[in-house]
Structure 1
Amino acid sequence: MTDQESALLVGGPASGLRVTVTGRPRMLLVTYPCAVDPDCLEVRGEVKVDAVHVYRLDPHPADGPPRYGYDPASP
Protein backbone atom coordinates (compact mmCIF):
# COMPACT_ATOMS: atom_id res chain seq x y z
CA MET A 1 0.00 0.00 0.00
CA THR A 2 1.40 3.39 -0.97
CA ASP A 3 0.18 6.50 0.80
CA GLN A 4 1.59 9.11 -1.57
CA GLU A 5 0.66 12.77 -1.45
CA SER A 6 1.96 16.12 -2.62
CA ALA A 7 3.89 18.19 -0.03
CA LEU A 8 5.05 21.80 -0.07
CA LEU A 9 8.57 22.96 0.85
CA VAL A 10 8.61 26.31 2.69
CA GLY A 11 11.66 28.56 3.12
CA GLY A 12 15.28 27.99 2.17
CA PRO A 13 16.62 27.31 -1.31
CA ALA A 14 13.75 25.00 -2.34
CA SER A 15 10.91 27.22 -1.13
CA GLY A 16 7.71 26.77 -3.10
CA LEU A 17 8.63 23.40 -4.59
CA ARG A 18 6.14 20.58 -4.38
CA VAL A 19 7.34 17.01 -3.90
CA THR A 20 5.60 13.66 -3.66
CA VAL A 21 6.11 11.93 -0.31
CA THR A 22 5.04 8.53 0.98
CA GLY A 23 3.84 8.21 4.57
CA ARG A 24 4.76 11.79 5.65
CA PRO A 25 8.42 11.35 6.61
CA ARG A 26 9.49 13.67 9.45
CA MET A 27 12.45 15.07 7.51
CA LEU A 28 13.49 15.58 3.88
CA LEU A 29 17.01 16.21 2.56
CA VAL A 30 17.35 18.50 -0.45
CA THR A 31 20.71 18.55 -2.23
CA TYR A 32 22.06 21.19 -4.55
CA PRO A 33 25.24 20.69 -6.62
CA CYS A 34 28.20 22.97 -5.88
CA ALA A 35 30.80 23.98 -8.44
CA VAL A 36 34.27 22.50 -7.94
CA ASP A 37 37.37 24.54 -8.73
CA PRO A 38 38.88 23.05 -11.93
CA ASP A 39 42.40 23.33 -10.43
CA CYS A 40 41.37 20.97 -7.63
CA LEU A 41 40.16 18.40 -10.13
CA GLU A 42 43.68 18.11 -11.56
CA VAL A 43 44.94 17.08 -8.11
CA ARG A 44 41.96 15.11 -6.76
CA GLY A 45 40.41 13.63 -9.88
CA GLU A 46 36.69 13.74 -10.57
CA VAL A 47 34.81 15.00 -7.50
CA LYS A 48 31.16 15.84 -6.87
CA VAL A 49 30.11 18.20 -4.05
CA ASP A 50 26.53 18.85 -2.95
CA ALA A 51 25.10 21.27 -0.40
CA VAL A 52 22.60 19.52 1.89
CA HIS A 53 19.50 21.31 3.17
CA VAL A 54 17.09 19.84 5.72
CA TYR A 55 13.32 20.35 5.69
CA ARG A 56 11.21 19.18 8.65
CA LEU A 57 7.54 18.22 8.63
CA ASP A 58 5.30 20.89 10.18
CA PRO A 59 3.27 18.97 12.79
CA HIS A 60 0.48 21.59 12.77
CA PRO A 61 -0.08 22.61 9.14
CA ALA A 62 -2.93 24.83 8.04
CA ASP A 63 -5.45 23.35 5.63
CA GLY A 64 -3.90 21.90 2.50
CA PRO A 65 -0.98 19.62 1.73
CA PRO A 66 1.66 18.66 4.29
CA ARG A 67 4.28 21.38 4.68
CA TYR A 68 8.00 20.97 5.27
CA GLY A 69 9.82 23.96 6.73
CA TYR A 70 13.49 24.77 6.10
CA ASP A 71 15.79 24.12 9.06
CA PRO A 72 18.59 26.73 8.83
CA ALA A 73 20.45 25.15 11.77
CA SER A 74 21.03 21.91 9.86
CA PRO A 75 24.27 21.21 8.03
Structure 2
Amino acid sequence: MDKKNALRAGALAAGTTLMMLLMSSPAFANIRDDGDDPGKGLSVGETLGLYVLAPLALFAIIAGLVMVLDKSKDRQPKAKAKA
Protein backbone atom coordinates (compact mmCIF):
# COMPACT_ATOMS: atom_id res chain seq x y z
CA MET A 1 0.00 0.00 0.00
CA ASP A 2 2.83 2.39 0.80
CA LYS A 3 4.31 2.10 -2.68
CA LYS A 4 0.93 2.78 -4.25
CA ASN A 5 0.48 5.98 -2.24
CA ALA A 6 3.98 7.13 -3.14
CA LEU A 7 3.31 6.57 -6.84
CA ARG A 8 0.01 8.44 -6.57
CA ALA A 9 1.68 11.39 -4.82
CA GLY A 10 4.48 11.45 -7.40
CA ALA A 11 2.03 11.37 -10.30
CA LEU A 12 -0.01 14.19 -8.74
CA ALA A 13 3.11 16.33 -8.19
CA ALA A 14 4.36 15.69 -11.73
CA GLY A 15 0.96 16.47 -13.23
CA THR A 16 0.59 19.67 -11.24
CA THR A 17 4.08 20.81 -12.21
CA LEU A 18 3.46 20.05 -15.87
CA MET A 19 0.19 21.98 -15.89
CA MET A 20 1.83 24.97 -14.19
CA LEU A 21 4.61 24.97 -16.79
CA LEU A 22 2.20 24.71 -19.69
CA MET A 23 -0.09 27.47 -18.46
CA SER A 24 2.64 29.95 -17.49
CA SER A 25 3.81 32.55 -19.97
CA PRO A 26 7.36 32.42 -21.30
CA ALA A 27 9.98 34.19 -19.20
CA PHE A 28 11.55 35.99 -22.14
CA ALA A 29 8.48 36.99 -24.11
CA ASN A 30 9.04 39.31 -27.08
CA ILE A 31 5.61 40.90 -26.81
CA ARG A 32 5.42 43.78 -24.33
CA ASP A 33 2.37 44.24 -22.13
CA ASP A 34 0.47 47.53 -21.98
CA GLY A 35 2.19 49.85 -19.54
CA ASP A 36 5.39 47.83 -19.55
CA ASP A 37 8.31 50.20 -19.22
CA PRO A 38 11.52 48.30 -18.45
CA GLY A 39 14.49 50.28 -17.25
CA LYS A 40 18.10 49.88 -18.26
CA GLY A 41 19.79 46.65 -17.29
CA LEU A 42 22.32 46.21 -14.51
CA SER A 43 26.03 46.04 -15.23
CA VAL A 44 28.09 43.08 -14.05
CA GLY A 45 29.47 45.09 -11.14
CA GLU A 46 26.02 46.24 -10.05
CA THR A 47 24.67 42.70 -10.28
CA LEU A 48 27.52 41.24 -8.21
CA GLY A 49 27.20 44.03 -5.67
CA LEU A 50 23.46 43.58 -5.32
CA TYR A 51 23.23 39.79 -5.28
CA VAL A 52 26.62 38.77 -3.79
CA LEU A 53 28.30 41.57 -1.84
CA ALA A 54 25.21 43.06 -0.20
CA PRO A 55 24.01 39.71 1.29
CA LEU A 56 27.55 38.89 2.47
CA ALA A 57 27.88 42.32 4.09
CA LEU A 58 24.48 41.97 5.75
CA PHE A 59 25.45 38.53 7.06
CA ALA A 60 28.75 39.86 8.41
CA ILE A 61 27.02 42.79 10.14
CA ILE A 62 24.44 40.54 11.80
CA ALA A 63 27.05 37.97 12.86
CA GLY A 64 29.27 40.75 14.24
CA LEU A 65 26.42 42.25 16.23
CA VAL A 66 25.51 38.86 17.67
CA MET A 67 29.12 38.23 18.74
CA VAL A 68 29.60 41.72 20.20
CA LEU A 69 26.28 41.79 22.05
CA ASP A 70 26.59 38.24 23.41
CA LYS A 71 26.48 38.54 27.21
CA SER A 72 27.38 34.97 28.17
CA LYS A 73 30.74 34.49 29.85
CA ASP A 74 31.10 30.71 29.62
CA ARG A 75 32.15 29.71 26.10
CA GLN A 76 32.74 26.00 26.75
CA PRO A 77 29.78 23.58 26.89
CA LYS A 78 29.22 22.04 30.30
CA ALA A 79 29.80 18.32 30.73
CA LYS A 80 26.76 16.27 31.66
CA ALA A 81 26.76 14.92 35.18
CA LYS A 82 26.71 11.12 35.37
CA ALA A 83 23.79 9.73 37.29
Answer whether TM exceeds 0.5 for this pair: no
Q: Would you tell me which structure has more helix in proportion to its own residues? A: 2
Which one has the largest radius of gyration?
2
TM superposition score normalised by structure 2: 0.20
Q: Would you tell me which structure has more strand in proportion to its own residues? A: 1
TM superposition score normalised by structure 1: 0.21
